[in-house]
Structure 1
Amino acid sequence: LEIIGEEISTDTNFNHQIITTLDEAYIFAKKVGFPEHGLVVWFENLENRCNQITKGITKEIDLIKSVDFALHNSPDSQVNIETDMRAMYNPTRMKNIAKATHNLLNKISSRCPKCNIPGFKITEIIQGLPCDFCQFPTTLPLTAIYQCKKCGFNQEKLFPNGIEFANPAQCMYCNP
């Protein structure tokens, strides 16, 4: 039995920049939420076929040392600075992982009404929630179809978001 938790989000602080001064590093760091969000500093040395990478930078002194080292050792005096996307250095990513964990826990606690196996989940959403003003169907969910991965039992749930009518602002007839 495989149950997958997920969170699809555009909430990220991923960013990258090539810098040539410590001041540029400070500007970048401030923009991406340093020191709460860690940084990575690196440069390429094509002649030696290697990259010098410093990860997990969360202190100003480490940022200064890493950028100074990279600027002095980079063959072209250009340094790459980017957000550290490893979860332990990225609170934005941690929040999304927490949401995925809650999603997983919800799926685990949702049991099939027929065979009682965990993972009874939504497999299809049917649009058509009626507009509160004109009753015209909208693109909002009217019905959710749940299905069991093990026994195949499925069940429809009307008004999956707990509302019976859509706000007229969501209606293509009332608000084209």
Structure 2
Amino acid sequence: MTAEVKSSRATCWTFWAKASKESVMQRVAGEDSAWTEDTGADAARVDVHPVTLTFYALRANEQVQVRLDDTSPAFWGDAFAGNRRVGISLTASPPGALLCVNRFVINRKAISISNNQDCAEIRVRLYVHDSDARIAGTISLPPGARMEMESLIDRVVNVRGSFSLNLR
């Protein structure tokens, strides 16, 4: 899955997964190997966990990258269509602030965001697909920027370099 935003003057962008009914049924049944590398019994063991990434104090024309560990089976996503949790959202704070993102790219293992103006806060809500109770990875932040990661049961504040976050 890849989503990309070239420019935005809105305060919130939301990306929704769209698929035909047949395609959704195949994905739920674990028959579509393009959707996930896990099929059959392995697909049943992959859990979907909501995660919030919040970036603070990003200067104009800076880029942030959050990468999951390559050795882990975890991957970023927008949830499975069968569990009614579908979508990725980007918001800016404080309320009413412009979302100054000129590029947002997400793929299986990495998220990349770059902005075109100074931004106090950018929040990304998405999902992690993983059968393990913990994810790990690396974060590349520009000088002066901070990041917070949050799952339903854990929060990592002021993340720099590598991270580990409990999912359940």
TM-score class normalised by the smaller sequence: under 0.3
- TM-score, length-scaled by structure 2: 0.23
Rg (Cα) greater in structure:
1
Structure with greater strand percent: 2
Higher RCO, 1 vs 2 (CA within 8 Å, ≥6 residues apart): 2
